[in-house]
Amino acid sequence: MSIVALTKVPRPSKEQRIDTIVESARKVFCACGFEKGSIVDIAADAGIAEGTIYRYFDGKRGLLDEVLRRHYAAIFDDIQQTLPAIEGYGNRLRYLIRRVLLAISSDRGMCGLITRDLRQFDTTQPSLAQSLNHQIGILMADEIKAGIKRGDFRSDVSPGIVCDMIGGGLELIAWSYMTNGKAIDVDKVTNAISRTVLSGIESNNATTASLASLVTRLEQTADRLDSA
């Protein structure tokens, strides 16, 4: 009896308990993935019984959702603080691409977890990672639409398709990072994607400039013919 009394520890607050569970879940899911990461492992890591998890979370999926929610919250905070300070549609697009690449390369475990989760659709509602990733896609599309309206980008561009190409490309890069393990050169990849996309959708100034110089030469020739 006295031993029990001596070793007895006051129960943590509801908030603390949730934090502990989510942190253990993050560790286990990042290490083993969602399917292979078991509730038993998470409970063991958190030092509690499996049943306790179900008091606080609506099953395994709900637990994953909370892990993802917390991960994305930091990224969105960052974006919300940085994006308005950047000038130019192309530059903001470039920042968004870079920010995602940074998130991918800075947390390999989370990258793997999200990369796998993005392709689930058995559940009735879409996975949180999907809708949160989609949010970022919307931010990109907004820049492209605004850029089209102001004439910075070609008007025959389809913002949705371009966003799919950027988002899909980033996903494939994340996936290949997970499988081959080679570190991502964030700046190099940001440049490669931005260059490809922008040269594709930006009204092409280089071409226009060289055409303009040709027109000048034509005009000068015409002048010579006139004066002759």
Partner DNA sequence: TCCAGTAATGAATAGCATTCATTATTCGTG
Partner DNA sequence: CACGAATAATGAATGCTATTCATTACTGGA
222 binds a copy of itself (CB under 8 A): yes
- Give the residue, chosen from 4, 6, 183, 228, that forms a contact with a copy of itself under the rule CB under 8 A: 228
CB of 4 to DNA, least distance (A): 6
Residues 120 to 139 in contact with a copy of itself, rule: CB under 8 A: 120-122, 126
170 binding partner (options DNA, a copy of itself, none; Cβ < 5 to 8 Å by kind): a copy of itself
178 binds a copy of itself (CB under 8 A): yes
Point out which span in 51-59, 62-70, 88-96, 200-208 binds a copy of itself (CB under 8 A). Answer: 200-208
77 binding partner (options DNA, a copy of itself, none; Cβ < 5 to 8 Å by kind): none
The Cα–Cα gap between 101 and 123 comes to 28
For a copy of itself, how many residues bind (rule: CB under 8 A)?
Answer: 60
96 binding partner (options DNA, a copy of itself, none; Cβ < 5 to 8 Å by kind): none
- Give the residue, chosen from 21, 35, 99, 186, that forms a contact with a copy of itself under the rule CB under 8 A: 35
Residue 17: Cβ-neighbour burial (10 angstroms; 0-12, 13-18, 19+) = middle
Which phi-psi region, left, alpha or beta, contains residue 9 (left: φ > 0; alpha: ψ -120 to 50)?
Answer: beta
The Cα–Cα gap between 27 and 29 comes to 6
Chain residues binding DNA by CB under 7 A are 4, 8, 10-12, 14, 17, 36-40, 48-52, 54-56, 59-61
Chain residues binding a copy of itself by CB under 8 A are 33, 35-36, 112, 115-116, 118-122, 126, 154, 156-158, 161-162, 164-173, 175-176, 178-179, 189, 192-193, 195-201, 204, 206-208, 210-212, 214-215, 217-219, 221-222, 224-226, 228
